[in-house]
């Protein structure tokens, strides 16, 4: 793993047919935001996404790992139904309840040069853990 030592960081990892998302962050909230950025990066460069429209997302799950899948699937759903990409995420967590404000814009095929749709977040290689120095780690494979 070659994650840079920053407050929150993400990378994609190898999966034969699909794409793995991996992140590390000092808190669960930043971790979920980093995973969301990794999700956008599967489709397009997050830096290219402007913040012209905001959406609120809420989800709740029995544990952190399922909450992560719900969060990523909620983003996938909003992107698909609004034809949008997101570039900013503000996540608040209360136990296993999530409320987020996400901002982005309608897909611009010329400027964003989107690569691939994400069909859904899977439960394969799924984990949300905290290490012994307090950092949070997550992994999830998304189907493309």
Given a contact cutoff of 8 angstroms between Cβ atoms, the answer to whether 139 and 77 are in contact is no
Q: Which of residues 58-117 bind other proteins (CB under 8 A)?
A: 62, 66, 69-70, 73, 76-77, 80-81, 83, 107-109, 112-117
Residues 6+ apart with CB under 8 A from 105: 49, 50, 51, 52, 53, 84, 85, 87
Helices (H) and strands (E) in the chain, counts: 2, 8
Question: Does the footprint of other proteins cover residue 2 (CB under 8 A)?
Answer: no
Q: Which of 97, 53, 95 is nearest to 74 (CA)?
A: 97
**Which residue, 6 or 12, is less far from other proteins as judged by CB?**
12
Contact between 34 and other proteins per CB under 8 A:
no
d(CA 20, CA 52): 28
Does 55 help bind other proteins (rule: CB under 8 A)?
A: no
Tell me: does residue 53 bind other proteins (CB under 8 A).
no
Q: How far is the CB of 138 from other proteins (least distance, A)?
A: 15
Residues of this chain that bind other proteins (CB under 8 A): 12-19, 43-44, 62, 66, 69-70, 73, 76-77, 80-81, 83, 107-109, 112-117, 119-124, 126, 141, 143-144
């Amino acid at each position: 793993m070659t994650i840079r030592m920053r407050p929150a960081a993400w990378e994609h990892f190898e999966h034969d047919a699909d794409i793995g998302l991996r992140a590390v962050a000092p808190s669960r909230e930043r971790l979920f935001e980093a995973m969301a950025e990794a999700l956008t990066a599967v489709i397009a460069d997050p830096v290219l996404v402007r913040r012209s429209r905001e959406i609120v997302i809420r989800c709740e799950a029995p544990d952190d790992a399922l909450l992560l899948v719900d969060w990523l699937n909620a983003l996938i759903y909003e992107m698909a139904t609004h034809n949008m990409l997101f570039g900013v995420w503000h996540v608040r967590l209360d136990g296993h309840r999530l409320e987020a404000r996400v901002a982005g814009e309608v897909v611009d095929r010329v400027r964003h040069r989107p690569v691939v749709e994400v069909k859904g977040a899977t439960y394969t290689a799924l984990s949300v853990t905290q290490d012994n120095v307090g950092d949070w780690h997550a992994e999830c494979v998304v189907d493309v």
